[in-house]
Structure formats: C-alpha cells, structure tokens
Amino acid sequence: MSPSAATHCPYCALQCAMTLTSPKALTPAETPGSEPVVAAPAIQVPAADTLTPAAPLLDVSGRDFPTNRGGLCRKGWTSASLLNHPGRVIEPLLKGPDGVHRPISWDDALAFVTSAVKQTRALHGADAVGVFGGGGLTNEKAYQLGKFARLALGTSRIDYNGRFCMSSAAAAGMRAFGLDRGLPFPLADLDAASTILMLGSNVAETMPPFVQHLQGARDAGGLIVVDPRRSATAAFTSDGGGLHLQPLPGTDLALLLGLSHVVIHEGLADAGYIAARTTGYDSLARSVASYWPERVQSLTGVPAGLIRDTARRLADGATKGGSYILTGRGVEQHVDGTDTATAAINLSLLLGLPGSARSGYGTLTGQGNGQGGREHGQKADQLPGYRKITDPAARAHMAKVWDVPESLIPGPGVPAVELLKSLGQPDGVRCLFVHGANVAVSAPDANAVIAGLRSLDFLVVCDFFLSETAVEADLILPVTQWAEEEGTLTNLEGRVLRRRRALAPPPGVRSELWIMARLAEALDAPSTFSADPETVFEELRLASAGGLADYSGIDYAMLDRGDAAYWPYPAGSEGTPRLFLDSFAHADGRAVFTAVAPRRRASPSSPAAEPARRNRGGKPMTLITGRLLEHYQSGAQTRRVAALAEAQPEARLQLHPAAAAAQGIADGDLVSISNARGEVACRAALSTDIRPETVFLPFHFPELESANRLTEAATDPISGMPEFKFSTVWIRPAAAVRVTGFPVLQAEESS
C-alpha cells in the first residue's frame, strides 16, 4: 500500500480534511540546512504562464471530517499540483543591480539579511525593521514570528494580513463577549438550524463544502442572505422559500439597526435572556428607535416588508429549531466594520442567540489559519494567548516564558495599513520581512504599497513562488509548502488541527522556523528559537496558558489521536466546543450591548465621494471586491494551477446591463475602471445579479487587473480594517493594445 498522510487543505479556514497519497515511498526526512547550496549561474524565473506543469507528486482524496464530510472544492482537489510546479523558487535569490534575481547559497543569504538588519538598526533604530506576517502560517510559525520580531529584531513593527480579514469582527467580538473566536460553536450545529441569516459572505464560492451545513435551514425556508449581488450563496435561497436582501453597498449597519428596531418594537426580544445575561440594553434600545423599517428602506434600498419578515423569521427560529446570525467580510471590510459587526451581535443578543445550545452568532474566518494566526503574537498589539501587549501581567508572563527581562519586549506597534504607509519613509520602516503575504496585490491602494516596497533599503520575502511582492524583493528565501511540513492550524470553529508532512521539500528549501532560528542566532538574540515544530508548540502551550486563547492542554499526541481540541483548552480540561453556555468572558460574565450608528457616506455621484476627483467622463459607480470559486486570496497560488487558471483566466467586471447600456458597453467589451488612486482594465460581464449603481471586481489578479489599485487605504478607527468594499470608480469603454502581455489603456471619449 502506498504511504499516506492525513492532513488538511492549505487554503481556507474550513480546513477540509484530506489524505495525501504517494505512488512511491516517502522521501526520508532530512534535517534542512545541514548542507550549503552551491550558487548557480544567473537566472530569471519565467512567468507562470510560460511553464508546463509537472504531474502532481501526490494524489489528493477527501477525508471524512465534520466541516467537509469528505468533500473538497476545486482548489482543494488541485492543491498538490503546486508542490512540484516548475515555477517554484527552490533556492535563495538575490536581486542584482540589473534587477535580475540570481541564486546564492543559504550562508550568503543569511549573511545578507543579518547585515541589513544590523545596519538598519544602527542607522535608524530597531523600529525601522518591520515584519509583515500571514494568516496562512501555522500556529508554530505565527508564534515564533512574533517572538522573532520582538526579541531577535527588537522591533514593535509587526502586523499581518489578517488585519485585512478578521480585525473588525475580532474587535466587535472582544467588546461584546470579551473573547474573539470566529465560530463559538462547532460548524455542524448549523445543520439543525431552522433560520440562518448570513451577511456579507459568499460561502458557495469561497468555501463550497460549507454549503451542506446550510441545507437544513434552506429546506425549512429559513436561509436569508444579505448581499448587494445575487451571489451563488444568495441564489441558494431560491426554491426553498428563503430571502435575499440586496442593500446598497455600505448600508449594512443601517439594515441591522432596522432589524433590531423591529425585534424590540414588535416584542420579539428575549426579555429574560437580556435581563439575565447582558448589560447596556436601554442605551441600545434608544439608539435604534429612529430606524423604523420605512426609513431603513430609504437608506438601504431593502423593502420595509422584507426587513420585518427577516426579523420575525429570526425570532420564530430562535424559539423552534434554532436561529444563527453569521457575518463575513462583505459587512466588515469598511471604515465602520467594527460597528457593523457589533450591530449584528446586538441583534443576536436581543434574540438570545449567543450561548444558547441550539442558536448562536458567529463570524466566518477566511484564511487557512486566520483564527490561530491572530492569537499568538503576529498582531501589532498582542502577545501569545490573545494577551494585550500593554497589559503588565501579560508582559511579565511572556518575559518568564521567554526567560528575558520584561524591558526587552517592545510595546505595541501599528496596524498593517499604517505599517505599509510607513515603508521607506524617514521615520518609518526601512527594512522589511514578508512571510506568507502578497501585499503588492492584496493591500489597499496597491500602487502606493508597491512604491513603498521599492523605496525600502532592503526587502526580504519568504515564499515558494515569485509572487508580485517577491518580484520586488532584494532577497527571496524559498520556504516549505504545506505538504512538506509539520505543524498545527486553528480552523474557523477554534478547533486546533494537525498538519502532517507527506514528502520532503526540495534540497534548497527551508522551513521558516529554521530561518528564524538561524537568524536569531546570527543576531545574538536572547531566549531560544527552534526549527522543530513540536518544540515550538510546546513553548506556545506555556506562552498561551492562562490567556484567552489557552492551548496549554493540547499537545501533538492528542491531535494525532484525532481528539477534538477546541480552545480555550486549559491543562486538565476537555476543551470548549461551545463558548458562553454559562457566562461570557467579561468580568461580570455578561455580554455587552454597544450602541452604534452609521457614519455619513457620500454617494458615488457626489464630488465629496472622492476629494481628488478629476474630469474623467463616464459615470461614477460603487466598486465592491470579492472572491471567485476558482481562486484564493491574491491568486499567487491558484493562478498557477492550470485547471483553475483555465476556468478563470482573467478578472471580469460584473456590471448591470442598464448601467452598461448607458455607457455603450457590451458584454465582453474591454472597460477602464479608474479613480484618483489608479486605473485598471478588464472585460465587462453583464449581469442582472448586481445592483445598477454597483460593480464587482475580484481581487485575485495582478498588474492592470488588480482591483486593489482602486481601493482606499482608509481604515476602521477601532480595528484598523481597510475599506475594501466601498470605492467610487468611473467606468468607461476602452480600446487596448498589448504590450508585454498587459493591456495599455486608450480610453474612448465619452459622449
């Protein structure tokens, strides 16, 4: 029988279980770094679309597990094809004065990094060195990266791409419940629900196996989806008696206030629950008094009757089969995203859902380790265990675990957008490490981010492909992929899972744990740094003990047995599959209502919508961004999978036929989408599934198809979340010529 490894998909936070099987014996495990890599002649890595994929080294099969029950999406089925992709970076690459990356040895690579860090610190101070992490890193890597930044580099300037994903929901959860775990209940609990309200999430495309957990509510006529587009998830409500609410972009907060108004004023609230388990109700009730359904209809475009119907269905479900409210990035990636997520929590508290055995509120984590990645030290203001870095007790605990004086632990840094804005600035970051992120595509106002990357004194990128961010790097360090490493991840339910190694990496590839350990040694860092994942996890257990995200009762042995491990899991406990059954995490055990209100937004047709507006011609529209079934995050991986790239080879702008006709645009025409931050070009895809004043563009594509060249680096003041889901743009027909494979725009004159 062929050897196999039971592991989990490398993509989203559903973390579908899969088995990897090799037709040949597994390559014996090696200790990476024991031999130097001999420098090769100068090379230039070819573009992904010029390479012929090799046959996958491993076969993938779905494995029975509560989240996916044996199913996988197209991304999961094709994930192994990247392990031996011909475009993979398999040795360190140093950029020369001519802009060409050339292979160097690992010893030389580490020496370059060490020298750059020491020089930057000497000239500009420790905070001139920055670290940008990722929500796809294992718990072990995320933990050690935070430790590496603070002790080996001595910097406070660390944050990660989860700031673009979960930060608003996390901030709302912390202030309402005192604890942030995406789903505070097992995903399978949704199966028995009679009513599910899903806001701002298109799980049918982003995590397709999730949809089976919506089937029960759909069959009961209780699936309600809120989305400006008729997405695949919204379409799933059809034929089941469900509802699709299609608000104007940026008005979700007003819609939620309207739903709360109905619940209170129609006597649908759970008065006993509110009295026994919450605080702040009176203030909340006053704050929603002016949001009666007819007024909310004028603000959101959602009919007042649908608002009342939704509130009544949620209340009815709470007393019958159970009601759940789920939020996603569509309602959170706004400058008022924390308040919007808070409004969803307020609604759930009015109905008595959180902490119930058969109802609840949750938010859907996106990245593979988006939950664990935000718990153990990658965030600018956190220490492991979800501790605040400003808390004296937390600092004392970590100083003891790390065996260093507390004074060596820096204070809080700055959120991701602020960190990226500081790149290359006199008082900003001058030397940057990037781990598990592709900010040249994924960050807001991407043109400014790319300019910042190019202004750095030294940029180090750890990656396995020549991503758009890696192309800008002075030094690229090749790292292991998911099937070549051991470790743990934490899925959207707060369940800790084992990642298992199925084959050895290429000889020139190293684990990021090994890289951090070697660099820490070269920089004379205090404490200890290990290249062994289990050793790092054992330290993580100690570091998290007593914190909100307590992993101290979890170890590799129990995970290898298949035991369910939901945090908090203090030593001696059995874990916590369902949070808040008895009390919330605030000192008094109660959840907190927080009154919130919408901010005034300028409409796309208003000059105030874009201060730097110039005479563009065409018509101003509201741009929203999102994902496609075939692609993941910045597309750096999925665009290299032939089957996925063939299915979705380019970005297409979803545009309502009425809006297109007003501009003389036909389906498939090339269009220009522009604003003060940039201009992109793509084909138009006409559809009545989107509101007439709104356009949709996926964010997986680079260069002149990059949606984030248009998004604004404005952020939520509480969470630091960027405004990805509300940008004013101008749409025009465009002619194009091809230069080096990318369209150069020649906008046609508007009549």
Task: Mark whether 327 and 206 lie in a shared domain.
Answer: yes
Question: Which pLDDT tens digit goes with each residue over 628-679?
Answer: 999 999 999 999 999 999 999 999 999 999 999 999 999 999 999 999 999 9
The answer to the question of residue 439 being in a domain is: yes
Task: Mark whether 339 and 412 lie in a shared domain.
Answer: no
Taking alpha carbons only, the member of 369, 328, 366, 329 closest to residue 8 is 369
CATH number at residue 616: 2.40.40.20
- How far is 458 from 232, CA to CA, in rounded Å? 43
The answer to the question of residue 658 being in a domain is: yes
Unique residue bearing structure tokens 């072990």: 140
- How far is 668 from 21, CA to CA, in rounded Å? 42
Question: Which pLDDT tens digit goes with each residue over 589-633?
Answer: 999 999 999 986 655 555 455 544 444 566 799 999 999 999 999
pLDDT the model gives residue 22: 85
Strand partners, 731: 619, 673
Strand partners, 431: 129, 458
- How far is 590 from 246, CA to CA, in rounded Å? 34
pLDDT the model gives residue 617: 63
- How far is 180 from 665, CA to CA, in rounded Å? 45
The answer to the question of residue 507 being in a domain is: yes
CATH number at residue 262: 3.40.228.10
Strand blocks (E) in 50-118:
59-62, 93-95, 101-103
Task: Mark whether 240 and 329 lie in a shared domain.
Answer: yes
Task: Mark whether 465 and 545 lie in a shared domain.
Answer: yes
Task: Mark whether 172 and 160 lie in a shared domain.
Answer: no
Task: Mark whether 119 and 171 lie in a shared domain.
Answer: no
For 52, other C-beta atoms within 10 Å of its C-beta total 6
Q: What SS3 class is residue 434?
A: strand
Number of compact structural domains in the chain: 3
Taking alpha carbons only, the member of 559, 578, 556, 558 closest to residue 567 is 578
Task: Mark whether 121 and 155 lie in a shared domain.
Answer: yes
Unique residue bearing structure tokens 């298992």: 500
Q: What SS3 class is residue 705?
A: helix
pLDDT the model gives residue 33: 37
pLDDT the model gives residue 52: 56
From 498, 533, 560, the end of a domain falls on: 560
- The domain of 611 spans 607-747
How many residues appear in the chain? Answer: 751
- How far is 350 from 613, CA to CA, in rounded Å? 43
The answer to the question of residue 69 being in a domain is: no
For 242, other C-beta atoms within 10 Å of its C-beta total 23
Structure tokens at 446: 């991407």
Sign of the torsion angle spanned by Cα atoms 604, 606, 612, 615: positive
84 contact partners, CB below 8 Å, separation of at least 6: 54, 56, 57
Which helix (DSSP H) or strand (DSSP E) does residue 323 occupy? strand 323-327
Burial class of residue 183, CB neighbours in 10 A (0-12, 13-18, 19+): buried
- How far is 145 from 436, CA to CA, in rounded Å? 11
Task: Mark whether 324 and 188 lie in a shared domain.
Answer: yes
Unique residue bearing structure tokens 């920089």: 523
What angle, rounded to 10 degrees, do the helices at 304-319 and 252-265 form?
Answer: 60
pLDDT the model gives residue 240: 79
At position 443, the amino acid (one-letter code) is A
Residue ranges in the chain modelled with pLDDT below 70: 1-2, 23-54, 600-618, 735-751
The answer to the question of residue 501 being in a domain is: yes
Task: Mark whether 339 and 301 lie in a shared domain.
Answer: yes
Question: For the whole model, what pTM was predicted?
Answer: 0.93
From 319, 339, 364, the end of a domain falls on: 364
Sign of the torsion angle spanned by Cα atoms 684, 443, 596, 185: positive
Taking alpha carbons only, the member of 204, 244, 241 closest to residue 228 is 244
At position 521, the amino acid (one-letter code) is E
Residue 209, phi then psi, degrees to nearest 5: -60, -15
Task: Mark whether 302 and 396 lie in a shared domain.
Answer: no
Is residue 662 within 8 Å of residue 668, measured between CB atoms?
no
